[in-house]
Amino acid sequence: MPSPILPIASAVDRSYLLPLAVMLQSLRQHLRPNVRPVLHLIHTGLPEPGLAAISSLVETHSLVPTEAQLRAAPSDSRFPREASLLLTLPELLPAGLDRVLFLDADTLILADLANLWDTPLDGHVVAAAVDGAVPLCSAPKGVKDWQKLGIPPHAPYFNCGVLLIDLVRWRQRRVTERAHRYLETTREPIDFLHQEALNGVAWDDWKVLEPRWNLLASHAGRKYDDPHSEAWRQPGIVHFAGRMKPWRAPVGGPFNAPYRMALESVLPLFPCEATTVRDLSLSMYDRHLRGAFYPVEHYLWRHRLL
């Protein structure tokens, strides 16, 4: 009898091949042995040796957007072009695939993702976790037109780094087209591209996952984290969103050590990039100073000064 398949998807450029390998290696290490992961990888052209190395970890299928899809994807100088290609996923995947688990490459898997895959969506388009930095659609850097769209002020805002997607419902409800329309008609600055757009159009069409399935490493287990949060003690997926990237230099918090272990196991496949002065400075700040200066950092971040 063939092994059950876990379809996963991600989108990367060449600078994210190493963290993608870390994510896949950690996924394999925690996945029950009778489940076979299959990666659907969105990219705009990766070096063949890099693709071969990724394929040595899991079965990999390349998804290359058309020029029209690339032109339609939202872009911003702060993010790589591939960051928002999640919106093209339902168009690129095989029509026979009903569901997929999308994972950002800057994640570390610390639990069996077959358990996440088995989550019922209860009729919703996606399942996701509430964003640890932007908890509400009405929050700073949330959904800009939340009042015009009729979104209640206490509606939660989800992070797109981990999405369990019902592709049939996504296509039926024209989520991609509606997200593009949000981006075209919103006059205020868009902070997180497709993430804001998806929250703007699917704010009432998503299932809330347990926080453990998308823990922001910049918050989880830190002394400025919610003191009542215990999710980080049973992590499922840790997300290294933001400027602090653990494959470039050590980071603070409780998840640096497990990340470094997974990183070392894939370095024979991908040589590590040279650490820059900027990387070292961010590492020093994150490990030794962030706890004291976090209120100032958060204030600057909320007001788009950082």
Q: What is the DSSP string of 185-247?
A: H--SPPSSHHHHHHHHHHTTSEEEPPGGGSEETTTTTSTTS-TT--GGGS-SEEE--SS--TT
pLDDT of residue 271: 76
Domain count, the chain: 1
Its domain, for residue 154, covers 5-213
Compute the distance between CA of residue 160 and CA of residue 106 in angstroms, rounded to an integer. 12
What b/e readout covers 145-171, taking b as 16+ CB neighbours within 10 angstroms? bbeebebeeebbbbbbbbbbbbbebbe
Other Cβ atoms within 10 Å of 189 Cβ, number: 10
Q: Which residues contact 118 (CB under 8 A, 6 or more apart)?
A: none
Query: Is the residue at 158 inside a domain?
Result: yes
Please report the pLDDT score of residue 272 as a whole number. 76
pTM of the predicted model as reported, rounded to 2 decimal places: 0.95
Does a structural domain hold residue 292? no
Task: Please report the pLDDT score of residue 1 as a whole number.
Answer: 59
> Domain for residue 152, yes or no?
yes
**18: in domain:** yes
Residue partners of 215: CB distance under 8 A and separation at least 6 = 132, 231, 232, 235, 236, 237, 238, 239, 255
Question: Collapsing DSSP states into helix, strand and coil, what is residue 280?
Answer: helix
CA dihedral 57, 6, 90, 44 (to 10 degrees): 0
Task: Determine, yes or no, domain membership for 235.
Answer: no
**Domain containing residue 147: CATH number:** 3.90.550.10
In a domain, 87, yes or no: yes
pLDDT in tens, the chain (306 residues): 567 999 999 999 999 999 999 999 999 999 999 999 999 999 999 999 999 999 999 999 999 999 888 888 877 777 777 778 999 999 999 989 999 999 999 999 999 999 999 999 999 999 999 999 999 999 989 999 899 999 999 999 999 999 999 999 999 999 999 999 999 998 888 889 999 999 999 999 999 999 999 999 999 999 888 877 888 999 999 999 999 999 999 999 999 999 999 999 999 988 777 889 999 999 999 999 999 999 998 888 888 877
pLDDT for 2 equals: 66
Q: Is residue 237 included in any domain, yes or no?
A: no
Phi and psi at residue 8, to the nearest 5°: -125, 160
Asked if the structure places residue 240 within a domain, the reply is no
